[in-house]
């Protein structure tokens, strides 16, 4: 008779733990496999929408201004030498009489068909100054396109082609976009037609320098030169944006891509289709963000809104009573959190209709009613934009200041105010970021007319309190928070 098998309690525990670990590992692998299987399959989306995405090529004729000197001859170069072509390109072949020669440049971009009538949407910068525009379809057809209208401020252009059996995209709503959701781009990076790239929405409502009317969608979708004007899709196969810009130090993709929201784009498209141009609302003020220090200096508890740096003469804002130093916190019921929120809200406001604007003036809430006008052309705006001497030292701030002459004020468009900074020493002014050559326009909500008045205003400033100071640097006014220490 065999002796009974005995298993110690500790051995049983080890065996049990080993089996449990095996089960847990198997479950983890199953879950991982299941999750991998849950990743979106983009093949159907691409199959259904790729045909409606087009390649756009443009041709522009340029006259070469550089010509050879009168007695200059193209040197004899070896046959087929690239240097010979280079000389002939810049200086022409002998016997042209020094006349400027004309040559063509080409550029590539993307676009997409929005309806069966042949309307194609792309970026303005893709077709800018083009003499000829060719739209290439997925079935290899190449068609000449007509520009229906374009809008430089939003970087949108509407083209028209004549063709039958055109595939079209489905238009979605960019207002429903959420950060983290999938996004897919189709376009022609570097001329490679119908290239697909995938990523996620990184941020929404992103504002870029010098872009006042577009709250961009930021993604990490790989976008490169040639993708411009192409569509950005959601998982439903709907266009939610138009790929427009990238942030890059190399000229190629670096993980930051920006698309124009389709809601903004289609509003522009509707105006271009109806009138061939876009009309936007206009207030006539220059603004900047309110940071924590500025908020404190304006008597506000939280940094928000857009502070007015300049009011354009005879503008809607001037007629409504806007003042430099006002902080706009709401426009027609829309909260203004960042200064970039205001141009978009004003641009979308109906022209010729009064808007209600809530603001903070010298620490107190106030509401103004302003009649919205149409945004003038860039040339008109540029024309209205500004550009016996007494010296004095303001030791409390660490400044050496000087009165401006009447001629200097006239050249800068300052209307009898402003003093110039001739020196900055250690003190509150340097801490605030004031530089030599800055022109001080306002301090503690008071217009500064001369050095004598400026010193009186400085003397009345409270110790330990942050105060807004308005300066003009070059042609650009800017508010800075100035904190008095003694």
| Rounded distance between C-alpha atoms, residue 123 and residue 230, angstroms | 8
User: Are the beta carbons of 320 and 369 closer than 8 angstroms?
Assistant: yes
Q: Which of 125, 194, 248, 289 is catalytic?
A: 125
Using DSSP's 3-state secondary structure scheme, residue 253 falls into coil
310-314 own/partner pairs: CB under 8 Å, 24+ apart:
310/285, 310/286, 310/386, 310/477, 311/284, 311/285, 312/284, 312/285, 312/286, 312/381, 312/384, 312/385, 313/384
Q: 20: part of which helix (H) or strand (E)?
A: helix 9-38
Only one residue has tokens 């697909």, namely: 196
Annotated catalytic residue 125? yes
CA neighbours closer than 13 Å in the CB half-sphere of residue 215? 19
Gyration radius (Cα) of the chain, Å: 31
User: Are the beta carbons of 145 and 120 closer than 8 angstroms?
Assistant: yes
Q: Which of 202, 228, 244, 445 is catalytic?
A: 228
CA neighbours closer than 13 Å in the CB half-sphere of residue 130? 25
Single out the residue of 359, 152, 372 nearest to residue 284, CA to CA: 372
Q: Which of 151, 154, 155, 444 is catalytic?
A: 155
Annotated catalytic residue 155? yes
Annotated catalytic residue 228? yes
Active-site residue set: 125, 155, 228
């Amino acid at each position: 008779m065999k002796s009974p098998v005995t298993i110690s309690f500790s051995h049983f525990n080890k065996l049990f733990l080993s089996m449990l670990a095996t089960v847990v590992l198997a479950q983890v692998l199953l879950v991982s496999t299941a999750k991998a299987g849950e990743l979106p399959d983009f093949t159907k989306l691409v199959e259904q929408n790729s045909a409606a995405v087009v390649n756009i090529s443009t041709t522009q004729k340029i006259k070469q201004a550089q010509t050879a000197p009168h007695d200059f001859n193209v040197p004899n170069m070896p046959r087929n030498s690239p240097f010979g072509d280079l000389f002939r390109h810049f200086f022409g072949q002998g016997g042209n009489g020094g006349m400027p020669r004309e040559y063509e440049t080409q550029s590539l971009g993307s676009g997409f068909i929005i309806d069966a009538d042949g309307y194609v949407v792309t970026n303005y910068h893709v077709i800018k100054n083009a003499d000829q525009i060719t739209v290439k379809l997925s079935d290899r057809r190449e068609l000449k396109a007509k520009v229906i209208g374009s809008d430089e401020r939003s970087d949108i252009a509407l083209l028209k082609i004549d063709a039958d059996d055109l595939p079209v995209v489905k238009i979605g709503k960019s207002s429903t976009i959420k950060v983290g959701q999938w996004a897919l781009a189709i376009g022609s990076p570097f001329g490679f037609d119908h290239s697909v790239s995938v990523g996620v929405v990184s941020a929404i409502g992103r504002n870029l320098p010098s872009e006042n009317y577009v709250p961009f969608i930021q993604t990490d979708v790989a976008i490169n030169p040639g993708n411009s004007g192409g569509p950005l899709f959601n998982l439903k196969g709907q266009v939610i944006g138009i790929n427009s810009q990238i942030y890059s130090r190399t000229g190629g993709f670096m993980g930051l891509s920006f698309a124009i929201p389709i809601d903004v784009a289609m509003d522009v498209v509707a105006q271009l289709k109806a009138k061939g141009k876009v009309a936007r609302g206009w207030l006539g003020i220059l603004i900047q963000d309110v940071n924590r220090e500025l908020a404190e200096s304006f008597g506000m508890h939280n940094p928000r809104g857009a502070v007015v740096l300049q009011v354009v003469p005879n503008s809607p804002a001037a007629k409504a009573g806007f003042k430099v130093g006002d902080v706009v916190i709401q426009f027609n019921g829309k909260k203004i959190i960042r200064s970039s929120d205001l141009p978009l809200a004003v641009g979308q406001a109906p022209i010729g209709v009064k808007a209600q604007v809530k603001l903070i003036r010298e620490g107190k809430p106030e509401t103004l009613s302003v009649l919205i006008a149409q945004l003038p052309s860039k040339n008109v705006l540029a024309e209205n934009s500004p550009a016996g001497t007494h010296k004095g030292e303001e030791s409390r701030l660490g400044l050496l200041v000087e009165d401006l002459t009447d001629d200097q004020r006239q050249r800068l468009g300052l209307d009898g105010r402003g003093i110039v900074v001739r020196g900055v020493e250690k003190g509150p002014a340097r801490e605030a970021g004031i530089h030599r050559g800055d022109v001080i326009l306002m301090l503690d909500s008071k217009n500064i007319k001369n050095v004598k008045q400026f010193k009186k205003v400085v003397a009345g400033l409270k110790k330990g309190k942050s105060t807004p100071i308005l300066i003009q640097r070059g042609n650009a006014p800017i508010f800075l928070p100035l904190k008095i220490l003694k």
